[in-house]
Amino acid sequence: MEKFKLVFTGSVAAGKTTAIQAISEVDTISTEVRPSEESILRQKPTTTIAMDYGQVTLEGNEKLHLYGTPGQRRFDFMCSILCEGALGLIILINNSHEDVFTELDYYLNLNAAFLSKNPAVIGVTHYDEVNTPSIKAYQQYLHERGDAWPVLRADARDINSVAVLIETLMFAMEYAVD
Amino acid sequence: MKKLALLEFSQIEQDRLSAVLDLSTMALDEDWLIAPIQVSELLMVNVSALTQQAWKAIQQGYSGKTLVAYGENSELFSAHYRFYKKMSGTPSRQLLIELLNQYQPLNSQRQAPIAKEYFDPEQYFLSVLQRITGEQKNYCCQLGNQITLYFAPKQQSYYCAFSPTMLKSLFLSHPDKVRLQSISDAELASAIQGVPAKSLQGLLWQATIIASQGRCLENQKSSDIVHLEYWPDISQHSNVKNSLAIATFMNHNAVSMELIARYTECQLSDVIDFHNACYLQGLIDHTQAFYLHKKEVSADTRKLRKTISQGLRLRIAA
């Protein structure tokens, strides 16, 4: 089993594939095809159907393995498979989505078993295009849910922004998880 | 000609400061000279190896002088001004210029902010920013002839040619030194052509961190129990790594700032500054009972976090 593994999840067009491509030191392995669902085709021309994979080399030639789940709901079963043995979960939410909090609820509930023992961080993407709801609104929503995961705005295209998400997850692992 | 005296400086340190002062001449508003204490208006004290007791003795012995605390730990000393010393030992030319240009004599009517024991936002440009943030009008703000900013509070944006890190002298200025004028949408549009919009919240954050200088707000102590109820927007912070560590820890625990510094291995002054910036944005809860999620941080987990952080830094640098 891979020792150091992180999983990126979230809805279609949230930026999972882009984020892994931004940070990976190798060409990412993507399983992208033309979407079968019309609603998704309107958002982007291709979508992930199995998973994305990228990696970052660590000290001692260890690898940090980065996996991205598919966005289409019919592939949600991949989440629990990919999360097995993972250090944590990065949930990306596209802020231009019409109902971001329903999306957030969905991914937190889908991964509830994993998150009962492991950390998460929420990355809000496309914030430069649409800045409502605000980051504070997300935080208030999580607070009402009883979840204390960090929420940050993120640019999936920017390696620094993706690195901040990963580091935030690592600090949550250090301080917040038994 | 203004005069600056040095106290507790070794010969090498004196020579370095003198050299940096010479290099700064063209950028200074007035001429400065290093001179004996008796004839100098400004006394810079090297506090790097100084105890608080020794510092108090200096304050009492030179009560008529304007004191500058100079050192890597200058934030721990209550002084009229602080001059942060870099680890390399060479004084920062930029910081020296800012310090000497903002110096005002103790007996002048418009005084530079006296470094109080506690952090009082009303004494700094921050109070102007806080007022602007809640307004609907646009503003032009000027400090002297060098710094101009434009504010569009409705868009939560500001416009300025300088980056926030270059605005330190503005952040340390008393509000009275700043000229503020409301302007129309048309005047704003004309003035900001080609200048990208920046986050007003990010500027507020940086202004608080700089003005705070490791001091608690009035009636607060570093031993108070604090809990971060909502995360700040870390993407706007200059020291992201510190912010991540402190924010994560504060969000999952309700402990004192001193304990936060110990667990996160951050400077107490950084924790205090972070707390103040969050507090002024309404993100902090002071009412919770003590709660420590994990009595010990696992050494293996910490090592793993550092290993991954190091790997990410190398990846970004590649």
Provide DSSP, B156-189: TEEE-SS-GGGGHHHHTS-GGGEEEEEE-HHHHH
Whole domain around residue A164: which residue ranges?
4-176
Domain membership flag for residue B237: yes
Reply yes or no on whether the pLDDT at A41 is more than 60: no
> CB A152 to CB B229 under 8 A?
no
**Looking at residue B109, what is its pLDDT?**
39
Final residue before a domain boundary, out of B181, B209, B237: B209
For B254, the token pair is: 């309700």
Helix (H) / strand (E) element for B293: namely: none
Q: Do A56 and B311 touch (CB under 8 A)?
A: yes
B179: in domain: yes
pLDDT of residue B110: 40
Q: What is the ipTM of this complex?
A: 0.83
Partner residue facing B311 (CB), from A64, A151, A161 = A64
A156 touches chain B (CB under 8 A): no
Chain A residue numbers with beta carbons less than 8 Å from the beta carbon of B307 are 58-59, 62
Is B116 inside a domain boundary?
A: no
Edge-to-edge strands, sheet with A88-94: A29-33, A47-57, A63-68, A4-10, A88-94, A120-125, A151-153
Number of domains chain B contains: 3
Strands B255-256 and B2-7: unpaired
Sign of the torsion angle spanned by Cα atoms B31, B32, B35, B39: positive
Shared-domain flag, residues B190 and B232: no
Nearest-neighbour CA in chain A from B253: distance (Å): 8
> Which of B231, B235, B308 lies nearest to residue A64, judging by beta carbons?
B308
Taking CB atoms and an 8 Å cutoff, what residues of chain A touch B304? 4, 87, 170, 173
- Based on the domain organization, do B7 and B91 belong to the same domain? yes
Looking at the fold, whether B304 and B246 belong to one and the same domain comes out as yes
Token digits of residue A87 = 């250090």
Q: Which residues pair with B3 in a beta bridge?
A: B33
Size of interface A-B (CB pairs under 8 A): 103
Task: Kindly state the tokens that stand for B152.
Answer: 């569009």
Which domain-ending residue is among B193, B209, B225? Answer: B209
Q: Which two tokens stand for residue B246?
A: 């402190």
CB atoms A152 and B231 under 8 Å: yes
Choose the closest CB to A136 out of B230, B247, B263: B230
Domain range for B157: 121-209
HSE-up of A65 (CA within 13 Å, CB side)? 16
Looking at the structure, do residues B185 and B233 belong to the same domain, yes or no? no
Residue B94 lies in a domain: yes
CATH of the domain at B299: 1.10.10
Is residue B315 domain-resident? Answer: no
Compute the distance between CA of residue A136 and CA of residue A124 in angstroms, rounded to an integer: 11
Q: How confident is the model at residue A161 (pLDDT cuts 50, 70, 90)?
A: very high
B209, B232, B250 — which closes off a domain?
Answer: B209
Measured CA distances, B264 to A178, B138, B205, B220, B258 (Å): 17, 40, 21, 21, 10
B113-169 pLDDT, tens digit per residue, is: 445 678 999 999 999 999 998 888 999 998 877 788 999 999 889 999 877 667 887
B-chain residue closest to A122, CA distance? B231
In a domain, B317, yes or no: no
The tally of domains found in chain A comes to: 1
Interface-testing mutation among B235, B243, B283, with chain A (most A C-beta atoms within 10 A): B235
Do residues A57 and B312 lie in contact, with contact meaning Cβ atoms separated by under 8 Å? Answer: no
CATH (domain of B90): 3.40.50.2300
Q: What percent of chain A has pLDDT over 70?
A: 86
Using CB atoms and an 8 Å cut-off, which of residues 40-99 of chain A contact chain B? 56-59, 62, 64, 87
Do residue B235 and residue A136 have CB atoms under 8 angstroms apart?
no
- Domain assignment present for residue B114? The answer is no
Bridge partner residues of A120 (DSSP): A89
User: Which of B13, B17, B213 is CA-nearest to residue B96?
Assistant: B17
User: Which parts of chain B sit beneath pLDDT 70?
Assistant: 75, 86-88, 106-116, 164-165, 236, 295
